[in-house]
Amino acid sequence: MRVGEAMHQGCTWVNPDTPLSEIAQILREEDIGAVPVGENDRLIGMVTDRDIAVRGVANESDVSMLTARDVMTEGIEWLWEDDDMEAALSKMEQQQLRRMPVMNSDKRMVGILSMGDISHAVNHDLSGEFASAVSAHH
């Protein structure tokens, strides 16, 4: 299975000047834990719910004045949509990341792969194998 088959297709992203309040709304409305930050057609960072809590709220700064750039994690790792799922999982484990942006061959972000997507895809694969194994015995 390839990353492109398991990922969340499409992806909301924000620019670095987006206020944290707006990012928090996106996270809530889309029920996601991270949003990529893009500038000049390039992926420059990610803002996670944890970034908002740890770098925003816990720093006791005026959260209403903070933007994506203030709390984002820079130096983003990503996956290619054609990557094999095993390679993707091992990269996520090495980097200790729960979600990674997915790029196509034109280096355009086409989605995000999360641990939830992986477990869903694996369970789907396994249940398919189980179903075919059971039907083979009847």
Q: Where are the chain's structural domains? A: 3-136
| pLDDT tens track for 125-136 | 555 544 444 455
Extract the tokens encoding 77. Answer: 């790792």
SS3 at position 43: strand
CB-based contact 99:33 (threshold 8 Å): yes
Extract the tokens encoding 81. Answer: 């949509």
> Is the model's pLDDT at 15 over the cut of 90?
yes
Q: What is the pTM of this model?
A: 0.72
| pLDDT tens track for 20-63 | 999 999 999 988 888 999 888 788 999 988 898 887 777 666 77
Q: Report the DSSP pairing between strands 99-103 and 79-80.
A: parallel
Per-chain mean pLDDT for the chain: 83
Indicate the helix (H) or strand (E) that contains 74. strand 73-74
Instruction: Give the sheet arrangement for strand 99-103, strand by strand.
Output: 8-9, 109-114, 99-103, 79-80
Burial of 47 (0-12, 13-18, 19+ CB in 10 A): buried
| Domain 3-136 falls under CATH 3.10.580.10 | yes
